[in-house]
Amino acid sequence: MRLILSIWPKKLKYRLFASVLLFILIPFSLLQMMAYRQMEDSMELEFKEKAGKQLTIMKSQMAKVLDSMFRYYLFLERDPETRRMLLDASPRTPMERQELFGRAAERASSIRFPAQVAVTLADRTGQLYQPDGHLGSGDAYRRFVEDPVFSGLTNDQGYRWVAGDNLQFYGLLRDNGSEITGYVLMEFQYKGWLAEASRDLLLQQSYQIVDHTGQTIGLSDSRNTIGSALIRQVIEGIGSENLHQEKDPKGMAIVSGTYFNDFNWYILSYLPMNNYVGNLNAIRAQYLFTFAVLCLVFIVVTFLIAAAISRPLLLLRRKMALSAESELSIRVHEDAFTGEMKELAGTYNTMMDDIRKLLQRLKQEERMKEALHYRMLAAHMNPHFLMNTLNTIKWNVLDKGDNDTADICIALGKLLETTLNSEVELVHLKLELELLQAYMYIQNYRYEGLVAVEYDIDPALHYALVPKLSLQPLMENALKHGFAHMPEDARVILRVYRRSRQLIMELEDNGAGLDTTRPLSAAAPQRKGIGLANIQERLTLLFREEGVLRITALERGTVAAITLPLLVSDPFDKGGNRDVESSAGGG
């Protein structure tokens, strides 16, 4: 697997090309070669089957010819008329001999010979009988009857087959007393018969007869001879089925062989397949050439398609690299592409426009945040100076025994200490509550303890993260606008709870109420400090649309609710630090 991954192309164009080549072209090529091979095998099997059947037919017909020759010999020996003709010693003209011979053939009408079989008769009185009447008496008769084959025949073996250029049948004609009445010679020109008989068959094969040693005895077509090595291979392969077939070394012909047991011969047939399907080697070469050209065209087209897909992607990659240097001002010309690539180019341009707008908005928000931070710093006196002044006042009043004034200084110092750390935006809810309680400790001196504050807070939320000084402006707004004229019955309820993945902080008062028709920025008179509008701006900067400030007027009083995402940080005693924004435990 690692080896494959190491050699697998890295670029999309080459990966696509390699995938098509490996999973489509190569399997398709193998399937085509297998299909072509199966076609050749099927065609070869069909030709072998037909050639074998035809060879069997030729063998059967040849056996019928030999059987007819032998039956004609028996007929001549047993036919009374033929015997009387042979025993009649009166001289006859060739015409008469031909007529007598013809009448003998008519009596044997059930026996049919092919034109390649010639029959010659001789009597004991010196006359020869043949259908054409050419042979006569005298020297011709003497040479005929003195043939060594006739001399070698006996009463026990009155006939003999002699194989040569022609197949000859020698037979002695005898009467019932075994006296010789005549001689018969039948010659079968089997070479010509093979050529003549094969013309009427479907497959034009050439035939070759060989003996048991593989020596050729006869050929139907001298142009198609079977080599000696192939002859021996076919002869050795003939088994119980009495038929064996081989292809010639060039694969252009089928050689079939069968055993002819009457003479210990083998009949072989030679079928050149190119006579029927053309030159197989040329066809195979043409097929492979055509297939190779198609594969090459397919490879080129695949490579062009892969390049057409990868070229726009490469162009987009280059444009993206240039966009970082040109502040996202680079665009792709959509008219240079078509189809999906044109849509991709349009999507790229749209994405770059959206990113540019987003960056501009982020820059604007960052500037707003910096401006807000500046306003917060500018709206307060120097915290260091105030802290030093408060410490001086605290120790002065403690020296005089005024503990109440010292407590007020401590509470105010806690608030100023929080504002001193201007880099921290989020604090634990527990710390925010402590700041609120410090603020209310100071305010109750003003209202002489007439404002009652109730806390309904889930203890599990003490370490939830909230914006710094987010509750104090809400409490300040309630005191200033709600209880300005009715502090004797003032009551404030602070509820903090969770809803799914949100944190809800509600501050409800029973004051004079709030005119909600005015915008938040105008809900309070212009004053130095952090107002309701600043809270909303800070929520938007910190949490986007998930940070919301809502003010709802009640029948008596007002509810100010802050909704923000629920974020929980580890408490300080478990490894947290006071800089909540850098804490890794939030979330």
SS3 536: helix
Let me know whether 108 and 245 are in one domain: yes
CA-to-CA distance for 448 and 369, rounded, in angstroms?
38
Let me know whether 461 and 439 are in one domain: yes
SS3 207: strand
Let me know whether 488 and 502 are in one domain: yes
**496 closest CA partner among 560, 440, 554:** 560
Q: Would residue 318 count as lying in a domain?
A: yes
Check pLDDT > 50 for residue 380: no
Q: Would residue 587 count as lying in a domain?
A: no
pLDDT band at 140 (very low <50, low <70, confident <90, very high): confident
DSSP 464: B
pTM, 2 dp: 0.48
| Residue that terminates a domain, selected from 257, 278, 299 | 278
The torsion of the CA quartet 273, 276, 281, 286, rounded to 10 degrees, works out to -160
Q: Would residue 21 count as lying in a domain?
A: no
Let me know whether 66 and 173 are in one domain: yes
Q: Would residue 96 count as lying in a domain?
A: yes
CA-to-CA distance for 87 and 298, rounded, in angstroms?
90
Range of the domain at 332: 281-374
CB 511 within 8 A of CB 483: yes
Percent of the chain with pLDDT over 90: 11
Q: Would residue 26 count as lying in a domain?
A: no
| Residue that terminates a domain, selected from 228, 262, 278 | 278
Angle between helices 94-107 and 80-87 (to 10 degrees): 160
| Residue that terminates a domain, selected from 278, 303, 337 | 278
Instruction: Tell me what pLDDT residue 122 has.
Output: 86
Number of compact structural domains in the chain: 3
Let me know whether 288 and 271 are in one domain: no
Read off the tokens for 210.
């060989």
Let me know whether 130 and 77 are in one domain: yes
Number of Cα atoms under 13 Å in the Cβ half of residue 412: 19
Check pLDDT > 90 for residue 505: yes
Q: Which CATH number do you get for residue 470?
A: 3.30.565.10
DSSP 181: E
Q: DSSP for 26-41?
A: HHHHHHHHHHHHHHHH
Let me know whether 340 and 461 are in one domain: no
- Specify the DSSP element, H or E, that contains 168: strand 167-174
CB 332 within 8 A of CB 316: yes
Check pLDDT > 70 for residue 247: yes
* Residue 214 CB-density burial (10 A; 0-12 exposed, 13-18 middle, 19+ buried): middle
For 97: left if phi > 0, alpha if psi spans -120 to 50, otherwise beta; the answer is alpha
Let me know whether 328 and 469 are in one domain: no
Give the bridge partners for 272, in sequence order.
Answer: 253
CA-to-CA distance for 586 and 564, rounded, in angstroms?
14
Let me know whether 442 and 476 are in one domain: yes
Let me know whether 59 and 146 are in one domain: yes
In angstroms, what is the C-alpha Rg of the chain? 62
Q: Would residue 14 count as lying in a domain?
A: no
Q: Is the dihedral of CA 35, 30, 273, 62 positive or negative?
A: negative
Read off the tokens for 160.
């003999």
Mind listing the pLDDT tens digit for each residue in 255-287?
A: 999 998 877 889 999 888 776 666 556 666 777
